[in-house]
Amino acid sequence: MSKIELSCEVFPPKGEDFLEKTTKLKSELKTLKKQGIGLVSITYGAGGSNRDNSLYLVKELQKEGFLVMPHFTCICSSTEYIKNYIEEIKKLGIKNILALRGDEPQDIDVCHLDFKFAYELVKFLKENTNFNISVAGYPEKHPRAKTFEDDILNLRKKVEMGANKIYTQLFFDNNYFYKFKEMCEKYNVNAPIISGILPITNFKQLNKMTQMCHTEIPIKLYEKLEKYQDDTNAIKEIGIEYATNQCLDLIKNGVHGLHFYILNKAESASKILDNIK
């Protein structure tokens, strides 16, 4: 386990009490740091919708000594806007970035389309910065890709343009991940792959997220969660047990790293880390 990279994803708190929420988040992350989480990635709204909150959190976590990786989406952003953002994070001494396209908005026709796909952003970052560039990968295929093969070829393009690590979409069935890894090997996608793990804590939220991400919930797991859907503690316990077994199986099969989607709460990830150490 010692060689495995451990990281987590958080989102920028918002609302009037975002300062309190940020303080709480920092304390949650300190717990996980002690348990070996080496990097914290910070989401970014497509089209820059939460740019200021995202940058604020990047700055706050850096001040506290966390190694951070801001996400950055390029869809609907002009080249000028992207240049400005890059300058801003360069000034902060950022070394890592997750280069994304972002989901297409409904009114795409009124968007800047200087960058249509993530590989274009990767190329731009490679030419204009010294960042370590990471990109997204989809064990269950990106919903917009025509075929799994097309999606893998798109991933290879992102790596060829300069990305040096792949963070996957969350998944629950490790077989999807193993198939994805096999395809990456077959098509010479030469970058380490970090598995995206969601510790389940809430049934309704899980359904919403998996619909958005097009992630399958294995039927046995689904039935168990459905049975206890109104019992928060039971759902958390099921989530911890499931993710623990999922991580142990990935570790046994030589996974490069685990990236926890913690939804700004450390409790479940912390227990999972204890279980797999």
Residues of this chain that interact with ligand FAD (CB under 6 A) are 43-46, 71, 73, 100-103, 117-118, 136, 142, 144-145, 150-151, 154, 158, 167, 169, 196
Cβ proximity to ligand FAD: between 46 and 97 the closer is 46
Instruction: State in angstroms the smallest separation of the CB of 137 from ligand FAD.
Output: 7
Instruction: State in angstroms the smallest separation of the CB of 142 from ligand FAD.
Output: 3
Cβ proximity to ligand FAD: between 22 and 154 the closer is 154
Cβ proximity to ligand FAD: between 118 and 255 the closer is 118
Instruction: State in angstroms the smallest separation of the CB of 180 from ligand FAD.
Output: 12
The residues assigned a catalytic role are: 9
Cβ proximity to ligand FAD: between 152 and 266 the closer is 152
User: What is the DSSP code string of the chain?
Assistant: -TTSEEEEEE----STTHHHHHHHHHHHHHHHHHTT--EEEE---GGGTTHHHHHHHHHHHHHTT--EEEEEE-TT--HHHHHHHHHHHHHTT--EEEEE--PPPTTGGGS--S--SHHHHHHHHHHH--PEEEEEE-TT--TT-SSHHHHHHHHHHHHHTT--EEEEEE-S-HHHHHHHHHHHHHTT--S-EEEEE-----HHHHHHHHHHHT-PPPHHHHHHHHHTTT-HHHHHHHHHHHHHHHHHHHHHTT-SEEEEE-TT--HHHHHHHHHH-
Instruction: State in angstroms the smallest separation of the CB of 233 from ligand FAD.
Output: 29
